[in-house]
Structure 1
Amino acid sequence: MSPGLFTFGETMGLVAADGIGPLGHAKSFSFGIGGAESNVAIGVARLGGEATWLGRVGPDATGALIASRIAAAGVRTLAVTDESFTGLMVRHRRSGEFAQVDYHRAGSAGSRLSPADVPAHELQDASIVHVTGITPALSGTARAAVFQSVETARAAGVAVSVDVNFRAKLWSRFDAAPVLRDLVSRADIVFASPEEAELFVDPGDVAANLAELGPAEVIVKDGGRGCSALIEGVRLSKAALSVTVVDPVGAGDAFVAGYLADRLAGAAPEERLTTAIATGAFAVTVPGDCEGAPTRDDLAALIGDDVRR
């Protein structure tokens, strides 16, 4: 296998109410999987890149489903079986504009990730190591796994990618801010929304303020307004595409996958942003966290043949 993306974190079972409205009025539910890191790995694989995902899962049907689904998507899957349960999230759309997610993950298998779970050679042999700000919020051992892995990758000259991905249901802004700032300062590539970035840098020129912490590639995800970036000192921006939104969940992960897949393919920064915008746009047209991850042909149908590589 050629070097590609290596990522790790918690993937959970996803119980999703079908339709729109209060959870108590839902008539049917679907069951799938969801996790920021595995979403990115699946997105990269769908776009033709090599990707590996590692995580802990429980000795239950949900854990087995997670491992099989990620592997079936073309991702090299390193699932460590833990004696604890596999985490779950329950999601419903209270209205056409807002989705609500409840987590059931305290003490889960995924939260028990530790530095010993992440082999040094996997980090050293990758082209990009991708982590998120979700994993450090899960437990002390998970946080240690993230920081140790980042340092191992950096020592080997491997690019480190960080998606800030602040989750208010996992930790407070006060607790998160110094940890996320420290993590971003160790990254080569960082993704954040303006609101996430302002947890630990001054508002205003968010991209420049993030770049001052150290990352050479800063990408600010701004939803329906598109994105802006400061990459190796060059400012770039892309407008969002106009699409019919079916399910907004997973758009940010799809965006990250598009950018990293193009980076792995050797594309120029502007091309990476074009693909990222298109991948995020395509994802919201399909229900589910990762089910809508597009192929290159899907993106070509959306915006043209320039995304075929």
Structure 2
Amino acid sequence: MSRPDVLTFGETTIALRGGGPLRPGGTLGVSVAGAESNVAIGLARLGHTVRWAGAVGADEAGELVLRTLRAEGVDVSGASADEGGAPTGLTLTEPELPEPPGLPGLPEPTRVPGLPEPTRVHHHRAGTAGSRLRACSVERAFTAAPPRVLHLTGITPALSRSARSAAALALRLAAEHSALVCLDVSFRSRLWSAQEASAVLREWAPSVDVLIASVDELPLCLPPDGPDDPGVRAKELLSLGIGEVVVTLGAAGATAYAEDGSSLHAPARAVRAVDPAGAGDAFAAGYLSALLDGCDTAGRLERAVTTGAFAVAARGDWEGAPTRAELGLLSAAAGTVLH
């Protein structure tokens, strides 16, 4: 088995998307969603070999997850189906505004140009197969063909003790097999507290080569009561042994901080924002893709903000991810700024 470019794992759920608020009823679209599988699909569309080693239920929903990932070119040979009857998780997404009716005499709902529609997301993941991910499954997927890059998020260790142990083992295996480690903090307050997350992330920090975090997430990786300046925070993280720190700034783009003290900022691409879901995952996929291609920091940021823009310009968590041929569709109207 050839060495994949990237190995990632975590929980992927069935995603049901409403055409409007769920309370009055209506139609639901069916897809799949998960931070790590979103990244996997984004990388696969850009031509990289990716293995996803999550766990799903032994049910039709789990089959849909695996079938969707296979169809997108993701290797799921390391995935496992729960034998204890745990189901595949479920995510419900409902926009606050209904779809325009398109019928004479009925007013269309108010839209604000340039802003994504407000949505509510309901997760049903207690006791799911994904939360019962085991370290032995990850070990088999890793050692079968050690990857060039291990991609982790802060979501997986928040799911359960077994999932946290699996992620910790993956970090150790990455060190043994000289795999680069990318950690996207992706803090979810519904899964664990800031104190719990901080304890784990601070322990992991010295093993990370590329850290991706929003401004609000940076303090989770460091002792409390530090300065608010993201540049100072990033330099503190670099001093712990992290190779580079990438701070995402939403509509303001992103800034990368390097070990040599330099920083580079890339503004966000100007697109019509439709759905913010999966934007961070698309950003991570673009950054890792350019890193695997040997691009410099400017090239990595450029691809990351481009793939992130594709994500927010389309509905769904991963459906808008571009292929390599499509990357040029968004012109680089704004360049990077070196500090």
TM bucket normalised to smaller: over 0.9
SS in 2 for 1:229: strand
**Corresponding position of 1:41:** 40
SS in 1 for 2:53: strand
1:146 to 167, 174, 195: 167
Q: What is the TM-score with the length of structure 1 in the denominator? A: 0.93
Deviation at 1:27, TM superposition (A): 2.1
Task: Specify the code of the residue in structure 2 equivalent to 1:16.
Answer: R
Deviation at 1:199, TM superposition (A): 2.6
SS in 2 for 1:192: strand
Deviation at 1:278, TM superposition (A): 0.3
Asked if 1 retains the 8 angstrom alpha-carbon contact of 2:87 and 2:129, the reply is yes
Asked if 1 retains the 8 angstrom alpha-carbon contact of 2:53 and 2:79, the reply is yes
SS in 1 for 2:330: helix
Q: Would the alpha carbon gap of residues 214 and 98 (structure 1) be closer, same or farther in structure 2, given more than 3 Å must change? A: farther
Cα distance in 1 for residues equivalent to 2:215 and 2:61? 34
Asked if 2 retains the 8 angstrom alpha-carbon contact of 1:187 and 1:214, the reply is yes
Q: Would the alpha carbon gap of residues 63 and 121 (structure 1) be closer, same or farther in structure 2, given more than 3 Å must change? A: closer
Deviations 1:178-235, CA, capped at 9 Å, x for gaps = 1122223321111000101123433212322322332111101111010001134231
Asked if 2 retains the 8 angstrom alpha-carbon contact of 1:160 and 1:188, the reply is yes
Q: What is the TM-score with the length of structure 2 in the denominator? A: 0.85
SS in 1 for 2:287: helix
Structure index of larger Rg: 2
SS in 1 for 2:268: coil
Task: Specify the code of the residue in structure 2 equivalent to 1:91.
Answer: T
**Corresponding position of 1:253:** 281
Asked if 2 retains the 8 angstrom alpha-carbon contact of 1:18 and 1:26, the reply is no
Q: Which runs of 5+ in 2 are unaligned?
A: 98-115, 333-339
Asked if 1 retains the 8 angstrom alpha-carbon contact of 2:256 and 2:297, the reply is no
1:110 to 116, 130, 154: 130
**Corresponding position of 1:279:** 307
Asked if 1 retains the 8 angstrom alpha-carbon contact of 2:53 and 2:141, the reply is no
**Corresponding position of 1:307:** none
RMSD: 1.6
**Corresponding position of 1:229:** 256
Q: Would the alpha carbon gap of residues 214 and 93 (structure 1) be closer, same or farther in structure 2, given more than 3 Å must change? A: farther
Structure 1 runs of 4+ aligned residues shifted over 4 Å read none
User: Which stretch has the larger CA shift, 208-217 or 29-38?
Assistant: 208-217
Deviation at 1:122, TM superposition (A): 2.4
Paired residue total: 302
Asked if 2 retains the 8 angstrom alpha-carbon contact of 1:55 and 1:80, the reply is yes
Deviation at 1:113, TM superposition (A): 0.6
